[in-house]
Amino acid sequence: MVIRDHTIAFICFVLTFVVWSQPITMFETSYEGIDNDLVAWDCPRPITNPSPAAVDLDKLRVKISESKPGDIIESWHPQCKALNRTQVVLGFLSLAGAIWKTIMWRRSTSDKRAEKKFAKLHSQTSGRPKGLLG
């Protein structure tokens, strides 16, 4: 099975969007003594919120101490920042691949597009004047 250039370009563009819009989160361990059973960590999307506000852990600890047993508090993780270095590199690599494949696709189909344009310009007409001449 051969995947065409425009399909690969589309996949690379989608991959770029996914890499740059999804936060990389791994919050399986406790952070500075705050247990994961008490807090539901989350991160904003890196593209829409490139520099999230800093999380005050002291305020978070106060909320935890004031909450009822079994309550889960939602908070952003203190390590949520702008795009991760890995995301930047993967995003630029997939974007470069998408641009390169788009250029290759446009070059490989340029003759076909030119032939269509030529055929359209030189097609037979009905012989009747069109537009303002009629």
- Residue 99 has a pLDDT of 92
CA 101/CA 8 separation, integer angstroms: 7
Q: At what angle do helices 85-108 and 110-121 cross, to 10 degrees?
A: 40
**98, 13 contact by CB (below 8 A):** yes
- Residue 82 has a pLDDT of 66
| Residue 74 φ then ψ, to 5° | -95, 135
Asked whether residue 133 carries a pLDDT value surpassing 60, the answer given is: no
Asked whether residue 134 carries a pLDDT value surpassing 70, the answer given is: no
Those residues with Cβ within 8 angstroms of residue 120's Cβ, 6 or more apart along the chain or in another chain: none
50/122: higher pLDDT: 122
Quickly state the pLDDT bin for 14 (edges 50, 70, 90).
very high
Percent of the chain with pLDDT over 90: 9
- Residue 32 has a pLDDT of 73
- Residue 18 has a pLDDT of 86
**76, 42 contact by CB (below 8 A):** yes
- Residue 38 has a pLDDT of 74
Q: What is the pTM of this model?
A: 0.56
Summarize pLDDT for 38-87 with one digit per residue, the tens: 777 777 776 666 666 677 777 878 877 777 777 777 777 777 766 677 78
Top mean-pLDDT range of 4-13, 24-33, 34-43, 82-91: 4-13
Distances (CA, A) of 63 to 13, 35, 39, 75, 80: 42, 13, 10, 11, 20
